[in-house]
Amino acid sequence: MAGYVTSLLLLAAVVAGAVVLAWRRRNAGVAGRGSASLRAIEFAPLGPRDRLVLAECEGRRYLLAQGPQGVTLLDRLFENGAPVAARDGGQTR
């Protein structure tokens, strides 16, 4: 009988640990999604692995190219309400 109770308590501890781990993973993924200062507005596919991304950060919009080699800034679309061309030549980050 004591072995049965021990096994049952061990099983309950494993299940509780799995529930806590799943809850922490789920909440960790949600933390970064709701950022008001950074968001992707729109995507446009360019090919099977490349796409354009219109992103907004702190009220400024950026046109980015995303592909296997990384992300490239193509243009700063709005800065203080006026269109502005990228000054750094679209460096890959």
Note the pLDDT tens digit of each residue in 74-91: 988 876 656 665 455 544
Predicted confidence at residue 23, as pLDDT, reads 74
**CA angle (91 as vertex; 68, 36 as ends), nearest 5:** 80
SS3 87: coil
The span from the CA of 39 to the CA of 61, in Å, is 10
Its pTM surpasses 0.75: no
Q: How far apart are CA 82 and CA 52, in angstroms?
A: 21
pLDDT for 35 = 55
Q: Is residue 68 over pLDDT 60? A: yes
Question: Measuring CA to CA, which residue among 70, 36, 30 is closest to residue 53?
Answer: 70
* Averaged confidence pLDDT in the chain: 77
